[in-house]
């Protein structure tokens, strides 16, 4: 709550890594500071077509990619990770990949990467959750698989590093924090009136929810974390001073530094968040695709742009 909104075109590069994932410009602290303020995140990378897409091709054309990470995480108030939440597999330069699925790519501030796929084509699954092998694409020397999980289920995942020529972490620092409340809805800073005024004026709203992934802990160790996502719809109850927001899709991931995918360490869904601290999570089980609603109490920060 230190400043007002900035111009929506204020994209800047907070951090740049080289092919060895060493910092060449900016700093991870600069990236964390922006994400803490609710900044949007896009990551730009560079690769050669015949090194990353088709290793049998004679085309060594440089390809520039910039991708949106609509869900961002700040872990222990210092570590930044982002997840692509709306991506289907793409087969360049033709079109889509062979199996319809959500491709939940996860990038960390240190250039480590991961992907979890949520298959949506109704194909049969025969395996159980657990460690699995990862087949590295032949001839792709810049691709390094770290581990794999749930390979024969509906939601295979693996952690990896691809040696992109550069990693650029772009942020749009356009959000203004107008309200912060604890898990019981007690205001910590800002005001409900400031949120109300911005909402009815048509401004976009974003939330930072603390502790949402605590139940994904596998050994009792819970790391402090905040998940940021924009809302799609909002509802203002004018007499009871209650604001309710439906989020864009989210992917929950077990907090870690770096964040990784692992069996039972992630899921996906949507949030309905209340200014009284109530958070309802409509969770999709990655293995069965069955849904259930879970209710939490979470401290939340509200941003507008």
| Tens digit of pLDDT at every position of the chain (305 positions) | 444 555 556 899 999 999 999 999 999 999 999 999 999 999 999 999 999 999 999 999 999 999 999 999 999 999 999 999 999 999 999 999 989 999 999 999 999 999 999 999 888 788 999 999 998 889 999 999 999 999 999 999 999 999 999 999 999 999 999 999 999 999 999 999 999 999 999 999 999 999 999 999 988 789 999 999 999 999 999 999 999 999 999 999 999 999 999 999 999 999 999 999 999 999 999 999 999 999 999 999 999 99
**Cα torsion at 144, 287, 154, 124 (round to 10°)?**
150
Kindly state whether residues 146 and 16 are assigned to the same domain.
yes
Of 136, 170, 204, which residue constitutes the final position of a domain?
A: 170
The label of the residue with tokens 């959500």 reads 102
**Whole-number Cα distances in Å, 193 to 19, 243, 254:** 47, 10, 34
Structural domain includes residue 4: no
Q: Are residues 245 and 267 in the same domain?
A: yes
Domain boundary among 145, 170, 195: 170
The answer to whether 153 and 287 have CB atoms below 8 angstroms apart is yes
Judging by beta carbons within 10 Å of its beta carbon (0-12, 13-18, 19+), is residue 264 exposed, middle or buried?
Answer: middle
- Give the contacts of 69 (CB within 8 A, at least 6 positions apart): 41, 42, 43, 82, 83, 84, 107
Q: What are phi and psi of 43, to 5 degrees?
A: -115, 125
198 & 288 share domain? yes
Same domain membership, residue 208 and residue 96:
no
Residue 6 lies in a domain: no
CA atoms within 13 A on the CB side of 39: 27
1 domain-assigned: no
- Half-sphere CA count of 175, side-chain side, radius 13 A: 27
Does residue 40 sit in the same domain as residue 151?
Answer: yes
Q: Give the structural domain span for 232.
A: 176-304
* Statement to judge: residues 17 and 130 lie in one domain: yes
Pair (112, 222) in one structural domain: no
Q: Is 143 in the same domain as 241?
A: no
Q: Are 16 and 139 contained in the same domain?
A: yes
- Count of domains in the chain? 2
2 is a domain residue: no
Q: State which H helix or E strand residue 285 sits in.
A: none
């Amino acid at each position: 709550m230190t400043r007002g909104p900035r111009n929506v075109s204020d994209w800047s590069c907070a951090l740049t890594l080289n092919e060895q994932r060493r910092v060449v410009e900016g700093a991870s602290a600069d990236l964390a500071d922006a994400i803490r303020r609710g900044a949007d995140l896009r990551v730009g990378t560079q690769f050669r077509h015949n090194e990353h897409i088709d290793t049998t091709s004679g085309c060594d054309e440089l390809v520039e990619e910039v991708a949106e990470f609509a869900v961002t995480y700040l872990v222990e108030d210092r570590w930044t990770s982002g997840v692509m939440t709306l991506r289907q597999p793409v087969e360049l330069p033709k079109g889509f990949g062979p199996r319809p699925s959500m491709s939940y790519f996860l990038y960390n501030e240190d250039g480590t990467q991961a992907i979890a796929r949520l298959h949506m084509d109704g194909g049969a699954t025969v395996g159980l959750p657990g460690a699995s092998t990862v087949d590295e694409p032949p001839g792709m020397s810049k691709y390094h698989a770290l581990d794999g999980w749930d390979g024969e289920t509906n939601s295979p995942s693996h952690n990896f590093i691809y040696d992109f020529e550069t990693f650029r972490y772009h942020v749009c620092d356009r959000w203004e924090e107008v309200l912060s409340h604890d898990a019981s809805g007690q205001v910590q800073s800002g005001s409900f009136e400031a949120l109300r005024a911005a909402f009815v004026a048509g401004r976009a709203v974003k939330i930072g929810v603390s502790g949402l992934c605590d139940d994904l802990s596998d050994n009792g160790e819970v790391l402090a974390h905040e998940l940021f996502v924009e809302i799609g719809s909002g509802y203002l109850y004018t007499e009871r001073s209650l604001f309710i927001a439906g989020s864009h899709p989210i992917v929950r991931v077990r907090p870690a530094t770096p964040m990784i995918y692992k069996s039972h360490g992630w899921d996906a869904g949507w949030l309905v968040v209340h200014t009284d601290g109530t958070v309802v999570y409509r969770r999709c089980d990655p293995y069965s695709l069955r849904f259930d609603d879970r209710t939490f109490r979470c401290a939340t920060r509200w941003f507008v742009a």
